[in-house]
Amino acid sequence: MILSTTFLILAIVALALAVVLLIKPWWVAAVPAAAALLLLIGGNYITYMPVWKTALWVAAALVVAVLRRLLPAGEPDGRNTSNLYIGLSALAGALLGMAMGSNYILLGTIVGAFIGMMAYSRTPAGAWVKSGYVKYFAHKCLPAIVAAALVGTCVEGIIFYFNTVYNYL
């Protein structure tokens, strides 16, 4: 009981770190989100996720971490304001997808990140994005999609666990 509660607290801290890293990226946000997923599975808070799906999410987080290392950092003008648009809209998409059902979390995250990218490209600071939407989507939106979808999956797992536990009391 103490170990599983410790895992839950560490997972919540990792999820909070992932949300902060989505908005202010000084490191890859998908890594603490994947760690939170593994902590929640280890603490038996998420029991419905198959092993292959967990392995795919961890592999996606590792791919995003490697891509972050290989791609140039920042934007041409040195700003990071796009992370506010893309990160928050990806989180909002994940929450909307979670409201529709657990199968729609990833779809909501993708749509949210795309809408955030489009909104940023309409600002004066993001006017340069119009020259390469696909590259920018792969560079900025893919890490946000993986991190926000993992955060949404973990939050849904916590809600599902406590909903089932307290329904039996």
pTM reported for the whole predicted model:
0.90
35 or 162: whose pLDDT is higher?
A: 35
- Dihedral angle sign, alpha carbons of residues 71, 76, 79, 80: negative
Burial class (CB in 10 A: 0-12, 13-18, 19+), 78: exposed
Listed range (7-11, 54-58, 108-112, 116-120) with the worst mean pLDDT: 116-120
Asked if 159 contacts 15 with a C-beta cutoff of 8 angstroms, the reply is no
pLDDT, tens digit (0-9, with 9 covering 90-100), for 120-169:
888 877 777 777 777 777 778 899 999 999 999 999 999 999 888 777 66
Instruction: Give the mean model confidence (pLDDT) for residues 89-95.
Output: 95
For 94-127, the pLDDT digits (tens) are 999 999 988 899 999 999 999 998 888 888 777 7
Q: Name which of 23-27, 29-33, 35-39, 103-107 the model is least confident about.
A: 23-27
Describe the crossing of helices 30-42 and 51-70 by its angle, rounded to 10 degrees: 160
Q: What is the pLDDT of residue 64?
A: 92
Q: Which residues contact 67 (CB under 8 A, 6 or more apart)?
A: 142, 143
The pLDDT score that the predictor gives to residue 68 is 81
Q: Over range 10-36, report the average pLDDT.
A: 93
Closest CA to 21 of 129, 153, 150: 150
pLDDT > 70 in the chain, percent: 93
When pLDDT is averaged across residues 70-87 and rounded to a whole number, the result is 72
Task: Work out how many domains the chain is built from and give that number.
Answer: 1
Question: Which domain, by its residues, includes 56?
Answer: 2-167
Residue-averaged pLDDT of the chain: 87
